[in-house]
Amino acid sequence: MSFFDVIIQTLDSTIRLSVPLLLACLAGLYSERSGIFDIGLEGKMLAAAFAGAAAASVFHSAWIGLGMAILVSVSLALVHGFASITHRGNQIVSGLAINFVAAGSTIILGQAWFQQGGRTPALAPNERFEAIKLPGADALRDVPIFGPIYSELISGHSLLVYVAFLAVPFTWWVLFRTRFGLRLRAVGENPAAVDTAGISVAWLRYRAVICTGILTAIAGAYLSMVQSGGFVKDMTAGKGYIALAALIFAKWRPVNAMFACLLFGFLDALAIRLQGAPLPIIGKVPVQLMQALPYILTVILLAGFIGKAIPPRAGGVPYVKER
């Protein structure tokens, strides 16, 4: 295999591996921009992955699967909202609780309904979001350089991959070009300003966590209905936390989020590709170091050694009308 092919393949798997991170990261962005911290991305993604695969295999439709994933994920997001917006509970505790409820119930329900050790039945092609061939992908395959880039890197992904990458400019547009985005950003910075402007802080924040629910649902659906042909227990494997790290790394901005997720996805792809094989110049790098790198980078960023990640000012603080 030529060096060029290796690069193309590594980049291709970078894209595949970044997609769930990117969707979850953008999901977190909506919530955290509105001032609600969410460490429950992991759980929502997992629950959605399960609900999606389960519904898809029962109803033989990828779309019904996706719909169910959204339903479940949004419900969990609303539980988080109920605890942290309505009851002004601790947002960290609430997010954590959701992660556990999701981790446990996906296995229990999976086992009870399908009896395959927590897996859902393998999905048939029509129950998954299949790869889409972009026009001309085959014809251009043999064109040097551009051909492989177009036909392998850009074409041939699932619909959800394109959704993920389109969600980046869309989120940017929502956040910075719409009334909803303006209010969303405002409520995460100074909810009192929003309140005195006559806008309901609670309703705004609820809408934000619903957006979070929808995007985590797509992330979960991608895992179980695209990346693998069904749900496997604990299949998110910390991706929700990496997405959280990416969100901080991106300083809560959508385009940065895409690059952060691509970086973290690339590290993952590289780790898989190398499997401990030595790198030129650096020598042998432990796979585990590559896996831990997103977290290490985030800690260093948080410590303020490379730039400063300033979270939305009202983040994590329940809004109480002050006397």
Among positions 278-307, residues that touch other proteins (CB under 8 A) are 286-289, 291-292, 295-296, 298-299, 302-304
For the bound state, the minimum distance from the C-beta of residue 255 to other proteins, rounded and expressed in Å, comes to 18
Neighbouring C-beta atoms of residue 162, cutoff 10 Å: 14
Cβ distance to other proteins smaller for residue 136 or 304: 304
Q: Answer yes or no whether residue 177 interacts with other proteins by CB under 8 A.
A: yes
Cβ distance to other proteins smaller for residue 125 or 323: 323
3 to 8, 10, 154, 232: CA distances (angstroms): 9, 11, 19, 34
| Cα–Cα distance for residue pair 16/38, rounded to 1 Å | 24
Measured in degrees and rounded to the nearest 5, phi and psi for residue 122 equal -60, 135
Residues 66-85 close enough to bind other proteins by CB under 8 A:
79, 82-84
Give the number of residues in contact with other proteins, rule: CB under 8 A: 73
Cβ distance to other proteins smaller for residue 162 or 180: 180
For the bound state, the minimum distance from the C-beta of residue 225 to other proteins, rounded and expressed in Å, comes to 22
| Sequence-ordered list of residues with C-beta below 8 angstroms from that of 27, at least 6 positions apart, any chain | 38, 41, 44, 211, 212, 213, 214, 215, 216, 219, 243
Q: Which residue stretch of 12-20, 27-35, 196-204, 215-223 sits at the interface with other proteins (rule: CB under 8 A)?
A: 196-204
Residues 108-137 close enough to bind other proteins by CB under 8 A:
108-109, 111-113, 118
Cβ distance to other proteins smaller for residue 9 or 291: 291
**Start-to-end C-alpha separation, the chain:** 70
Q: Which residue stretch of 6-14, 65-73, 99-107, 136-144 sits at the interface with other proteins (rule: CB under 8 A)?
A: 99-107
236 to 11, 48, 226: CA distances (angstroms): 21, 10, 13
For the bound state, the minimum distance from the C-beta of residue 48 to other proteins, rounded and expressed in Å, comes to 16
| Cα–Cα distance for residue pair 283/100, rounded to 1 Å | 40
| Cα–Cα distance for residue pair 305/75, rounded to 1 Å | 38
